[in-house]
Structure 1
Amino acid sequence: MESTPLLENKGKEDKSKLGNLLKANVVFLVFHLAINIRNPLITQYLYKRYSDEEFNNSTGSANYPNQKSKCYLNVSDPSYMLQEKVQENTSNCQTILTAIGSSGAVISCMFLGAYSDFLGRRFLFIVPLVGEVLKFWLLTVVIYWNLDLRYLYIGEVFEGISGGYNGVILASYVYTADNTPPKNSRTVGIAVIDFTTYLASAASQVITGYFIKDLGYLYPSVTTASLMLLSLVLVVVLLPETIKTDRKSQYPTPVKAVKNVFGFYFSKDFGPKRSLFWLSLASYFILYFSQGGLYVVEYLFQLNLPFCWGPELIGYFNMALSLTKQFLGIPVIKLLHLCTSDPGICIITSIIQAGAYVLHGLANTDVLLFSFVLPNGLAAPLLPALRAIMSRMAPAEMQGSLFAGIGLVNIISSTIGITAFNEMYDATVKILRGFAFFVCAGFQLLSAVIIVVFLVTSRSVVDTDTSTVVVINDNDWKPGPIIPQDKPITDTTM
């Protein structure tokens, strides 16, 4: 693969633009309020619909307040068999919905990220938010008229075409990278995006549980769709653009855009840094595959034996998870930065996360399950630190392309993970209900081993200058020298 380097732009500021970061986090907070109301809503709505179907309840019951969850304990009871069938149908439907949305988002997010380096970050926010608005309102229509659940597939098509959830996540990380220098402040900035997610989750989970219990599924769905529309409006009226206008007329062809996305891992212009990109990407894939794969399993684990939780208790648990991550995440990063680098943070938190999942898998009482909350909160910096490592290795003018690649990993790994862990849970639920969580713990340890290799390898890689711009095989750019700097990737200087 041929490529031509470009001389770096020295006019970049060394300080974070706090005003832009604050506005972006307001948008992201509203967006995730919508997401965190919808996530438990859709799982419990599907569970209720399939339960009505299997137990021959009235077809209109899904619109009305949810009754107390029933758990059948006697395995010889026919109702127990139906309960297992409901669980299986819910899991399978979630898998199909995820596969439809993610398959299209793989392509759309790649091009959205690459072209946002030229067309702007507002563009990167607006397109996926439009798709999410359509998807959320379609769910409201399905609930209101009690339509066939297959109509939800249409919403996932909107998700795929527009980039949807993964597109907004991509936009948020890129926007944060644009407004922070490539130092420890970027790690904190990227972490704040994740912790805004946790704040939104904490604010919505318990409310959602009581919302569903007292008013059914329709009003929460209307609320979440309205919040998603509000986040789109906020992007249009609130967020300033961070891409210079002179770059907007120089956007590459689709082929060049794809090469920019994958150039970090294949282009010779990145030299020995390619091995570091590969190692960090492998670790990230493993983490997202395992943690994202447990998303549906966690709800099913709580809804059924031995817990038999209803919406309220699920809400309390998720709120506790979110609050611990929110309040422990940034302090843990700041504390660990005093004695180690971002790779060190990844290794330590991977081990803590592995222990947390072992504890989750062993839980057979409410108290034991809630004990998972604290170590899970201490491990919150894991993914933000890994994203920051990759962002600092990439040129400032290619952050969109970098996070487009990370977005592809998010989509592919979570899709495969959800499918794999759902099947794993279905196959082992009668033998060892916590087996999926033990497997996830093993993946956390594997990721820690890869980061150790990354840390050792980075000691011998001197050329880690983050400001060198490389445009893959783009003959329209004039060549210029690459100016390396002797600054190791493990540097933690603010």
Structure 2
Amino acid sequence: MKILFVEPAIFLSAFAMALISPLATQYVYRRIWEETGNYSFSFDSNISECEKNKSSPIFAFQKEVQRKASLFSLQMDISGLIPGLVSTFILLSNSDHYGRKLPMILSSVGGLATTIWLCLLSYFALPFQLLIASTFIGAFCGNYTTFFGACLAYIVDQCKEHKQKTIRIAIIDFILGVVTGLTGLSSGYFIRELGFVWSFSISAVVLAVNLIYISFFLSDPMRESSSQNVTMSCGEGFKNLFYRTYMLFKNASGKQRTLLCLLLFTVITYYFVIIGSAPIFILYELDSPLCWNEVFIGYGSALGSASFLTSFLGIWVFSYCMEDIHMAFIGIFTTMAGMAMTAFARTTLMMFLARGPFLFAIVPMSVLRSMLSKVVRSTEQGALFACIAFLETLGGVAAVSIFNGIYSATVAWFPGFIFLLSAGLLLIPAISLWAIRYTGWDEGGYILLIQEESSQEASDR
């Protein structure tokens, strides 16, 4: 019996990814720490391996470790850029005709292979630089952006009303928030009680279960409705791939094309800042003067992930009294305030309080994706999410690379500079969103326009 719910797959994938991310960051950080000097981490210590006294030689040493860890993260992200872009674009664009399950399966295979490699790397204490090779190879199968883009397209295929799309996408963000929050909260205890090898092994098992669920239990209505398609040659299929994306803009009216471009620019610039600053939080918390250990980092990750839950509740409540675009404004400006507070957080209490303004940080991502899905036809959803995922992959790698480079260059004199920069950069999507409002965004009228165009095309046939 086939199942039409993709939420279990998102749940399992989110758990695995939320566990792997802080584990991998801290594993690399500890390996660099131990290989840079004659200092070793104490895995059962209740305090962080961090020196607050600026006159101590260890203080200068830990700044060097911060710089090396940031640069290594930069190298890893760049290594997966090109294969990730190509695989994401091809898999999601083709999902309009060949189903949404294929990109989900392949990206899950890539994630599982990378996680198994992390297990072997930590078990045999292999050179951690080999992580770059696994990132490069895994990106060919698609990354988490590919998986999430396919899941969103799968959900949009089932939604008929525009409000239903917004709520359903918000529910997905809610699931992500609960899972990543609880996983982030427990990640420190995973490291302390189980160590890196067993913690990576748990992630691998979860990804294997997810792969089984998608492959054998999840239905794919899009593939079933497209089973009668004529087989094309490889060259024709590749040409058709770019043609569908081109027609996404070509078939649009002038106003529709303008809104589509502005919405894509807004969601990518916001995504650029959020994704670029995300990995810096852990390095910032490991460094002086916070000097957090793995348990406190888990608490911080849980509080950060709580924004998924509060964003869902915000969307659910605000959708009854305001339009999507106004919810996006609220999310952008509160996130801007959170970035500014983080830049000057010098105590554990202040760092926890700085998480408060991030309550609606996920709102813009959810509502902007929903707004984008409303300005294209149902047969163009795969091409649309291919564009979004392609741009998110490119923007995400570029963001992490740029932010890590800036952080490594500024950590010695002002570690919080990167967060001040993030607050300033958030003005760009805010201005772009204002331009969308100025062009006359009208949700109800726009949905009606798309429906009329689709009906007209059907009658012409």
Q: TM-score, normalised by structure 2?
A: 0.92
Q: Would you say how many aligned residue pairs link Structure 1 and Structure 2?
A: 451
Q: Which residue of the partner structure matches residue 301 of structure 1?
A: 284
* 1:345-364 pair list within 5 angstroms: 345-364=327-346
Check whether the contact 1:131–1:161 (CA below 8 A) recurs between aligned residues. yes
Which of 265, 273, 289 lines up with 1:282 in the alignment? 265
Other-structure match for 1:488: none
Change (3 A) 1:459 1:373: closer
Once the two structures are TM-superposed, the CA of residue 110 in structure 1 deviates from its matched residue by 0.5
Between the aligned partners of 1:347 and 1:84, the Cα distance in structure 2 is: 37
**Residue in structure 2 matched with residue 314 of structure 1 by the alignment:** 297
Structure 1 residue aligned with 2:356? 374
Residues 482 and 449 (structure 1), Cα distance of their counterparts in 2 relative to 1, 3 Å cut:
farther
Q: Secondary structure at the match of 1:216?
A: helix
The residue type paired with residue 344 of structure 2 is L
> 2:388 maps to what in 1?
406
Shift in alpha-carbon separation, 1:302–1:268, aligned structure 2, 3 A = same
What is the letter of the counterpart of residue 278 of structure 1?
Answer: C
State whether residues 34 and 227 of structure 1, in contact with CA within 8 Å, keep that contact through their aligned partners in structure 2.
yes
What amino acid is aligned across from residue 323 of structure 1 in structure 2? A
For the residue of structure 1 that corresponds to 2:288, the secondary structure is coil
CA distance in 2, matches of 1:480, 1:130: 42
Aligned 8 A contact 1:132 1:158 in 2: no
Which residue in 2 is equivalent to 1:15? none
Give CA-to-partner distance per residue, 1:418-459, whole Å, 9 cap, x none.
Answer: 111112212222332211111111222321221111012135
Contact 2:81 2:397 (8 Å CA) reproduced: yes
Alignment partners' CA distance in 2, 1:256 and 1:482: 21
Q: Does the 8 Å CA contact 1:167/1:407 hold for their aligned counterparts?
A: yes
Conserved in 2, the CA contact under 8 Å of 1:172 and 1:193?
no
Q: Does structure 1 conserve the Cα–Cα contact (< 8 Å) formed by 2:103 and 2:146?
A: yes
TM-align CA RMSD: 2.4
Contact 1:30/1:231 (<8 A) preserved: yes
Which AA in structure 2 matches 1:264?
L
Decide which structure has greater helix share: 2
Structure 1: 5+ residue stretches without partners: 1-18, 471-478, 485-494
Preserved CA contact (<8 Å) 1:396 1:467 = no
1:254 aligns with 2:233: no
User: Any conservation in 2 of the 1:137–1:222 contact (CA below 8 Å)?
Assistant: yes
Task: Give the conservation status (yes or no) of the 8 Å contact 1:354–1:442.
Answer: yes
Selected match of 1:29 from 2, 11, 26: 11
- Which residue of structure 1 aligns with residue 428 of structure 2? 446
1:249-284, CA deviations, whole angstroms, 9 ceiling, x for partnerless residues? 24762122123224334x154432110011111111
Of 389, 395, 410, the match for 1:428? 410
CA distance in 2, matches of 1:154, 1:356: 35
Distance 2:176 2:264 in 1: 22
1:205 to 150, 159, 184: 184
Contact 1:292 1:418 in 2 (8 A): yes
For residues 85-129 of structure 1, the C-alpha deviation after alignment (integer angstroms, 9 at most, x for no partner) is 111111111111111123211011111011111111111211111
Query: What residue in structure 1 maps to residue 256 of structure 2?
Result: 273
The secondary structure found in structure 2 opposite 1:437 is: helix
1:24-77 per-residue CA deviation (whole Å, 9 max, x = no partner) reads: 11111111111011000000000100111122357xx89x76774221223343
1:139 to 108, 118, 142: 118
Question: 2:101 matched to which residue of 1?
Answer: 122
* Matching of residue 343 in structure 1 with residue 313 in structure 2: no
Tell me the CA shift for residue 299 of structure 1.
0.8
Residue number in structure 2 paired with 1:455: 437
* Aligned position for 1:227: 206
The offset of 1:480, in angstroms, is 7.2
Per the TM alignment, residue 245 of structure 1 is displaced from its structure 2 partner at its CA by: 2.9
What's the counterpart of residue 245 of structure 1?
224
Contact 2:71–2:408 (8 Å) recurs in 1 = no
Name the amino acid aligned to 1:341.
E
Task: Check whether the contact 1:202–1:319 (CA below 8 A) recurs between aligned residues.
Answer: yes
Name the CA distance, whole Å, in 2 between partners of 1:351 and 1:164: 29
Q: Is the 8 A contact 2:63 2:412 kept in 1?
A: no
- Tell me what 2:69 maps to: 90
- CA offsets per residue over residues 119-175 of structure 1, 9 Å max, x none? 111112111111111111011110010001122122212322111212111111111
Q: 2:248 aligns with which of 261, 264, 268?
A: 264
